[in-house]
Amino acid sequence: MLNELNICGIDPQSYLLLKKGSKPAIRVGLVKSWIEDAKKSAHKLGIKIVIKEFKQIYGQNLKDPKINAYYSLDEKLCRKALQTEEEGDREKFGQLLGYPECCVDNFIKNLPSEYTLISLQNVKTKPSFYCNNLFVFDSKLRDFDIPIYYKNLEMFDNHDVRNLFLVRHIPCSFDCEHSIRIGKMTLKLLKDNFPDLAKNIVNVLKRPVLYWNYFEWVILKGHREDDIIKYDGIIDYESLIKKDIKNMIAGGNNIRIKDEKIMVFNNKEKIGEIPRKNNIPVCIDFQ
């Protein structure tokens, strides 16, 4: 099954939600050379597929044509998803992808924006690991980020990291009840069908993160206590964080967060500082 899903460009989470009936449709980007294989694999998986090449989307002319594939259990829903995207109706399209209404509204209201920071600012309780979507880039990219993304596509599209999420959409907050409900459902489906992937996802997502932007972050093996993070190493998934900063953090075991800087210690020995500007980097303590 995983091989067919990879050929179709579908992540296991979306497929399981689709089969359960909790996700009406899926949309992914495809390269032209994979189209015929994707059609065959979709047939094996028992799902329908409709493909469209876009030269313009959401009112923007594309430098290079983009091929989108729409999957569903019902071909009518594939075509409906395609139609709503052709019409640029983000609200209806989000509904067809099974995203919570509050999250779709938040996305549209803040378009374009730094959604991770907005999701953090909107938290009323504590950031939930069910809502941790740091590894999902699809909808978050802004125009000036796209060249960086494509330059590093091989890294960001690595099979080891691209399925590390429980919600694929951008949550309106990292404690959104509707998103948490989807995340819990997704995790149960993964445990029943892909237990090793489920275990790996929780191990990575349920961690404090030092976050600069979409492409720069460090995941810490530890926990936060007020303005101190105690940890015993980092989870070394590649980001574009500068090597000297990553190595500094990896060499410590506790971090103290101040308004103007972050201080890195190994026990009581200070080994370096990271300046902060506008509270960046920020610590997101996913629990």
Give the strands of the sheet with 26-30, arranged side by side. Answer: 26-30, 60-72, 48-57
Residue 149, in any domain of the structure: yes
At 143 the pLDDT is 64
Positive or negative: CA dihedral 20, 129, 209, 278: positive
121 and 217 belong to one structural domain: no
d(CA 188, CA 95): 22
244 and 281 belong to one structural domain: yes
246 and 161 belong to one structural domain: no
Domain of residue 271 covers 208-285
199 and 213 belong to one structural domain: no
41 and 52 belong to one structural domain: yes
Last residue of a domain, one of 190, 205, 220: 205
137 and 192 belong to one structural domain: yes
Higher pLDDT among residues 222 and 149, named by residue: 222
64 and 114 belong to one structural domain: no
51 and 120 belong to one structural domain: no
At 43 the pLDDT is 98
DSSP state of 144: G
Residue 142, in any domain of the structure: yes
Q: What is the pLDDT of residues 9-58, one digit of tens each?
A: 999 999 999 999 999 999 999 999 999 999 999 999 999 999 999 988 88
Q: What is the pLDDT of residues 94-143, one digit of tens each?
A: 999 999 999 999 999 999 889 999 999 999 999 999 999 999 987 787 66
81 and 128 belong to one structural domain: no
Residue 94, in any domain of the structure: no
Residue 79, in any domain of the structure: yes
Higher pLDDT among residues 144 and 97, named by residue: 97
Q: Considering the chain, what percentage of its residues have pLDDT values greater than 70?
A: 99
Residue 230, in any domain of the structure: yes
- Average pLDDT, stretch 259-282? 97
At 59 the pLDDT is 79
d(CA 126, CA 4): 37
21 and 111 belong to one structural domain: no
Residue 121, in any domain of the structure: yes
Last residue of a domain, one of 68, 89, 110: 89
Q: How far is CA 215 from CA 196, 239, 287, in A?
A: 26, 6, 22
| 189 has pLDDT over 80 | yes
Last residue of a domain, one of 169, 188, 205: 205
197 and 220 belong to one structural domain: no
At 236 the pLDDT is 87
Q: How many residues does the chain have?
A: 287
pLDDT band at 156 (very low <50, low <70, confident <90, very high): confident
- Average pLDDT, stretch 237-243? 91
Mean pLDDT score of the chain, rounded to an integer? 94
**Domain count within the chain:** 3
At 139 the pLDDT is 76
Residue 169, in any domain of the structure: yes
232 and 184 belong to one structural domain: no
Residue 127, in any domain of the structure: yes
